[in-house]
Structures are given as C-alpha cells and as structure tokens.
Amino acid sequence: MGFVQLTDAYPWDAVVPFRDRASQHPGGLVDLSIGTPVDPTPQVVRDALTAAADAPGYPTAHGTPALREAVASWFRERRGVPELDPDGVLPTVGSKELVATLPSLLGLGPDDIVVVPSVAYPTYAVGARLAGAQVLVADDVAAWAGNPAVRLVWVNSPSNPTGAVLGAEHLRGVVTAARELGAVVASDECYAELPWVQPWTEPSGGGVPCLLRPDVSGGDHAGLLVVYSLSKQSNLAGYRAAFAAGDAALVHGILQLRRHMGMMVPAPVQAATIAALGDHTHVDAQRERYLRRREALLEALTGAGYAVDHSEAGLYLWVRPADGGGDCWSMLSDFAERGILVGPGEFYGAVSDDHVRVALTAPDAQIDQAVDRLAR
C-alpha cells in the first residue's frame, strides 16, 4: 500500500532500444509487447459499418436507443446481468478515454483518493493525476475501507497485465466497503470474454464474474460502473468501440459533461457495435484462435526456463524466470536477443518489476517463430 507519483515520460518510449535490437534478428521482429489485435475485423461488423456510412448528422453522446438496448441484452446473455437499465449505458470512444477522464468527470480533487490495484494498467493512476486526486495502491479492501477520502475504487478483472480473475466474493467485499463510504466502484472488464481455465470457463458457473451480476451487486447497480471494450473480443481496436454501463443516475451525471465535451461515438461505429454485440459466433472463433496461440507460447516459455503466473484469462502471459533471477529489463534483453519484443512488468507497478507481459496478439506465423526461437 502507498501513494504513487507518476513521471511525465510515456513509459513505452523506454522499450524502443529493445525493439531496435529485436528487429536486427535474422528472422525479423516478433512483437508480443503492446497487444494490438491483428486478426480481421468480422465481416458482419464491417457490413454494418458500411450500411451506416451515410451519417450526415451529429450522433448523440448517449448513443442510440438501439445501441443501449443491445448493450443491455449483451450483459444479460453473456455476463449474467438479468436487468440493466438501458439509460445506464454510455458509449465511449474506446475504453481508455473514460478510464483517464472518469475521476475528473466525477469531480474529484486534491482531497480525494482513487484506489488502484498494485499491478495495474497505468491509466487508472493517470486519470487520478489529471483530476488532481491522490492515488492509493492497494489490493486488500481493508487498506482503504472506512477511509472517507476514498471516492473511486478501480478493480480490473481479468487483469491487464496479470490475467488474474477476481471472484464474486472479493468483488462483493469491494462493493460493500465502497457503499459504506459513498464511493464509486469502476470495474474494467475488457477481457471478460477470454477465460482460459476453470472455474471461469464453466458456463454453469457464469464465467468471469461481472460487477453488475446480482451475486456481486445485490441486484442494485447504485454506485457501480463497468467499463468494456470490443477491441479484444471482436478485433475492433481501430473502431474505438466501447461502453460503460451500470448506475443510470451516475451515467446521467457523466453524460451531461460529455455532451459539453463533444464525446460522441460516430454513428457508423454505433451501428457496428450493435452488430458485434449481436453476433457471438465471431467472438467464440476469435477466442479459439487465442487459445491455440496461448497453448503454444505457454509450452515454449516453460520449456525455455520461464514460469507463467496467473494468466487465467485475457490476452497476455505474465512471465518470470523460473529460477527467480533477473528483473524485467534483463528479460527484455534476453527476449530481444531472440528477436522477440515483450512488455516490461515495471510499467504496471513497482511490485511487478520481476515479470514481463507476453501478448498473444500476433499472427500464427509469428507465434510459430517465437515458439521456435524459444525452443532453441
């Protein structure tokens, strides 16, 4: 637990020398660092985008009723949330912009605390900094429960970068403690459709727990907000198709500010989002692609002397040396010598500087190259 200060440097700039070294490999660079989707955007989505291309008027910041209903239906069918008020749905220009602006949209300031996980996507803390709020790094609810300065609590399940999944009991504890303070709980669930191991792969168990599920929320979405993106499950990173959903009153307040800011998802992208949410076949097929890549890389990494921690879901493997030696930068160097670029764990928190993040988002041919180089 502790307070953090961020530097002004964009962290990924530090990876450039390792990219340059990896690019000198005779077989070329295999980039497993950022995690940008590489597979084709589903045809059903492209068709919907094209059909909606004639869009001369301004879209609304709240999105069309059809879009909001599609999101509510998706939560019901895929996330175990039987009742979601469509007015509690808010389309966003990708999920990152809402993560970065949420503390400001909530009116947080210097006397307020934003709680973030100890190993986490850096933008949670960046958003707090933009608002002038304090950041408290904590995984244990007991570290912040009862503190009246806490106004926003971020949870991320499945986690980027670790792939760890939070169970319903833990999430329920977060909700209970936050409600006692009147704090908002925001859950980043962008990888929820990509579970790899039991019990999260068991349909009878409801999959990866959602913050809005009745066994977590108590059937009441007050003070709760889920952030979701179609970038991962539907290869729509270039569309910036995402949304937040939960407490309708909370969304209403955020919406009024976003209307002034002009934060509107383009009408063709809204149509494409509806198509993507209504077609589950492409999601299941994409998951199978990632599963094959994951299994190949997992076997190659463990065979090359690495250990993989957590990684129960999501698009990454959370990797460290099996013998416990070395930090993320020495591992980055070792991978670069093989022509492979990975992500340093240090970017995700001080406690994770002994890991690297290995993405599954590369074409099959490049995954095969990485497996071959690790075997050598």
Residue 192 CA to residue 169 CA, distance in Å, equals 17
Mean pLDDT of 275-296: 97
Of the candidates 11, 10, 28, the one whose C-alpha atom is nearest the C-alpha of residue 19 is 28
Is CATH 3.90.550.10 correct for 43-278?
no
Please tell me the predicted confidence (pLDDT) of residue 231: 96
Query: For the segment 31-40, what is each residue's pLDDT rounded down to a tens digit?
Result: 999 889 999 9
Query: For the segment 80-89, what is each residue's pLDDT rounded down to a tens digit?
Result: 999 999 999 9
Query: For the segment 300-344, what is each residue's pLDDT rounded down to a tens digit?
Result: 999 999 999 999 999 999 999 999 888 999 999 999 999 999 999
Pick the CATH number of 2-40+282-375 from 3.90.1150.10, 1.50.10.10, 3.50.50.60, 3.40.50.300: 3.90.1150.10
Residue 1 reports pLDDT greater than 90: no
Residue 245 CA to residue 229 CA, distance in Å, equals 11
Query: For the segment 125-172, what is each residue's pLDDT rounded down to a tens digit?
Result: 999 999 999 999 999 999 999 999 999 999 999 999 999 999 999 999
Please tell me the predicted confidence (pLDDT) of residue 206: 82
Residue-range domain boundaries for the chain: 2-40+282-375, 43-278
Cα–Cα distances in angstroms (integers) from residue 334 to residues 159, 302, 305, 359, in the given order:
25, 15, 12, 16
Cβ–Cβ < 8 Å for 355, 328: yes
Please tell me the predicted confidence (pLDDT) of residue 2: 47
Residue 10 reports pLDDT greater than 80: no
In the chain, pLDDT over 70 holds for what percent of residues? 98
How much is the mean pLDDT over the chain? 95
Residue 4 reports pLDDT greater than 60: no
Q: What is the 3-state secondary structure (H, E, C) of the chain?
A: CEECCCCCCCHHHHHHHHHHHHHCCCCCCEECCCCCCCCCCCHHHHHHHHHCCCCCCCCCCCCCHHHHHHHHHHHHHHCCCCCCCHHHEEEEECCHHHHHHHHHHCCCCCCCEEEECCCCCCHHHHHHHHHCCEEEECCCHHHCCCCCCEEEEEEECCCCCCCCCCCHHHHHHHHHHHHHHCCEEEEECCCCCCECCCCCCCHHHCCCCCCCCHHHHCCCCCCEEEEEECHHHHCCHHHCEEEEEECHHHHHHHHHHHHHHCCCCCHHHHHHHHHHHHCCHHHHHHHHHHHHHHHHHHHHHHHCCEEEECCCECCEEEEEECCCCCCHHHHHHHHHHCCEECEEHHHHCHHHCCCEEEECCCCHHHHHHHHHHHHC
Mean pLDDT of 353-362: 96
Mean pLDDT of 36-47: 97
List the structure tokens of 104. Answer: 């400001």
Please tell me the predicted confidence (pLDDT) of residue 352: 92
Please tell me the predicted confidence (pLDDT) of residue 203: 75
Q: What angle do CA 370, 374, 376 make, to 5 degrees?
A: 120
Cα–Cα distances in angstroms (integers) from residue 31 to residues 38, 239, 292, in the given order:
11, 22, 17
Please tell me the predicted confidence (pLDDT) of residue 300: 98
Residue 109 CA to residue 111 CA, distance in Å, equals 6
Q: Cβ-count burial of 303 within 10 angstroms (0-12 exposed, 13-18 middle, 19+ buried)?
A: exposed
Residue 205 reports pLDDT greater than 80: no
Mean pLDDT of 116-122: 95
List the structure tokens of 310. Answer: 């957590």
Radius of gyration of the chain (CA): 20
Mean pLDDT of 206-220: 96
Please tell me the predicted confidence (pLDDT) of residue 9: 65
Strand partners, 133: none
